Chain A
Amino acid sequence: MGEIVRYKRDVWGEEVILGVSWDLLWVVAVAVLVLLAAHAIIMAALANKKMDKPSSEGRRVLRHETIDRLFHWVMAASILTLIATGVAPILGLRIAWLNIHWIAGLLLTFVVVFHIIRSLFWQDFKSMILGPKDFGEPFDSAQKPGKYTFEQKGMHWAVTVVVLAVIATGILLFLQIDTPFWDRTNSMAEDTLGLMFLLHGLSTLALVALAATHIYFALRPEKLFYTRSMVSGWISEDEMTANHDTSLWSPKEAD
């Protein structure tokens, strides 16, 4: 316990990286549970100081198009599948995990590429950019965000970095196994292979932490309307004016 990296001997007897130490999985799990529990307790203690929740009744505005909601849920399902199948052998569960893992990985890669292209050319990319002004938002209740809050942008970019890392390393590892498309060639040097496993493992651990945090906040009572909007596409005008600066974000009416 306590190491971050595992090592092995390569075929020449030299010590090389094997991969991440999966003891860290327990560290991440415990840390996330403790932090999120602490947040929930603090929020519960502050609850009587909160203002009334905005109403979900009345005029509805469009927050997420259907295609973007579909992308989100396909990405969520593929990431959860990747985490479950990747962690299963570490936990000692005897399931045939590898094929499900790379198929989910390919699906994730496809939807991420789709999203990158769509966000650059068909969506308001600027609405997701994090600038210096955004960092003051959590400390100034008078400062309201545009479409996305500081926390949402932060989560988005953190997930972007981690998912791109897990995809890039995952593809390199994918090339090292037999698939219906090719036979493996063992072409990667063992030290490089170990580094890829290490980076893949570290980004997996980060993804576990981010996914858990994201799901927690998505289920928080004061954020639930955002989660609803990722299912139904809309938020109410009341929710919009209570949480967003309408001069920075003025969506059209939802169908």
Chain B
Amino acid sequence: MPATSHDVMPDIELYQPTDEENALELASSLGSDGWIVGGGQDTYGWLKDRNKSPAAMIEIAQIDAWKGVKETADGIEIGAVTTLTDIANHPLVQAKFALLATAASKVASPQIRNVGTLGGNLNQDARCWYYRRGLDCYRAGGNICYADSPEGLNREHAIFGASRCVAVSPSDTAPALVALDATMVVASVSGERLIPAQDFFVGPDRDIVNMTVLNEGEILTAVRLPNEWANAEFYFEKVADRNVWDFALVNVAAAIKVSGGEITDARIVCGAVECTPRRLEAVENAIRGQQRSEELANQVAAMSTEGARPLNYNHFKVPLMENLVKRAIRG
């Protein structure tokens, strides 16, 4: 039931399950009426603006089984409800997957990272201000995009992969996890499915109202990082208007294996340029087998922005993205 006053929280049925089975059963039975909340750093903004008002919320922050970082036979597993601060500071993550530690440390602000979870950062909704304002755009189930119009303010929007919607993926950890070939562990009452990070995010051409492939009743419970990219040479950089508490204008996450100065393999992923993290496979193929150098970086940087279709106000993202890719390659 919507609130009748802006001074109080809307009426929401709050469920706080303490074990996984209970949480999954609630997610299944409530379906689209059940809003999964971890740290709430995305949720409360919606509620405060009164632009979304779920009938029920399922808080999963207290489910211990979905918290923490543990070593596995072939890598590490991070519970989806682990806070970003814990991930950034965890010795195991810092030792083997510093790329993720750095990315997590760049999210928002210290206060937000203290309660914000990895799962929440990955599942957060688009930040297009027209959508967040509550306008009935395509992403909200409507039939128009206000951002991509002659007078639309689209400075922070996509330069790739727009299909009616031009919102970007705002997550900082997402590009890092794609670069590390992570696997998402998604659970429901029907069981568990494993989704490669690159396939976890979905663009508007295939699903214009959701940012991920999670179905109703499913919960992201963990993220697995294979040792394949452990201790590679990492680079993460985020460019935003503010140093703290801001979403990226463009970010880059790179994992590069180097042997004797030669790049033997690479993963380079950019965020905030498309509705999903954008993996630069053409650039990766171009630098594989080459000597890592500034010259190489200069030669291939332009490949990263081939096919870009800037909007009225975000042409700056093209050279910005090229420069970030250059810096990631040269190290």
Contacts and interface: CB of A to CB of B under 8 A. Distances in A.
Interface in A166-192: 176-178, 184-186, 190
B143 A96 contact: no
A190 B143 CA distance: 9
A97 to B, nearest CB: 8
A46 interface: no
Interface string A88-105: 010000111111000000
A197 B149 CA distance: 19
A11 interface: yes
Interface string B129-148: 00000011000011111101
Q: Say what secondary structure dominates the interface of chain A.
A: loop
A197 B150 contact: no
B320 to A, nearest CB: 22
B148 A9 contact: no
A8 B142 contact: yes
A interface, size bucket: 20 to 34
Given A98-B163, A98-B164, A186 B145 contact: yes
Nearest to B152: A186
Interface in B242-268: none
B35 to A, nearest CB: 19
B65 to A, nearest CB: 29
Contacts of B309: 178
A233 interface: no
Contact of B136 (A9, A95, A99, A197): A9
A65 to B, nearest CB: 40
Contacts of A197: 143
Interface string B149-185: 1101000000000111000000000000000000000
A8 B136 contact: yes
Interface string B187-218: 00000000000000010011110000100000
Contacts of B150: 185-186
B205 A96 contact: yes
A145 interface: no
Contacts of B207: 89, 94
A18 B206 contact: no
Nearest to A178: B162
Contacts of B141: 8, 18
Contacts of B144: 176, 186, 190, 193
Interface in A1-41: 8-11, 18-19
Nearest to B215: A92
Contacts of A98: 163-164, 205
A94 B136 contact: no
Nearest to A16: B136
B163 A96 contact: yes
Interface string B104-137: 0000000000000000000000000000000110
Between A94, A176, A190, the greatest number of chain B beta carbons within 10 A of the residue's beta carbon is seen for: A94
A18 B137 CA distance: 10
B260 to A, nearest CB: 42
Interface of A: 8-11, 18-19, 89, 94-99, 176-178, 184-186, 190, 193-194, 197
What are the 9 A-B residue pairs with the smallest beta carbon separation, nearest first? A8-B136, A186-B149, A96-B205, A94-B206, A94-B207, A8-B142, A197-B143, A96-B206, A9-B136
Interface of B: 135-136, 141-146, 148-150, 152, 162-164, 202, 205-208, 213, 309
11 contacts: A8-B143, A9-B136, A18-B136, A94-B206, A95-B206, A96-B205, A98-B205, A176-B144, A184-B145, A186-B148, A197-B143
Given A11-B135, A89-B207, 11 more contacts: A8-B141, A8-B142, A9-B136, A95-B206, A96-B163, A98-B164, A99-B205, A176-B144, A177-B164, A186-B150, A190-B144
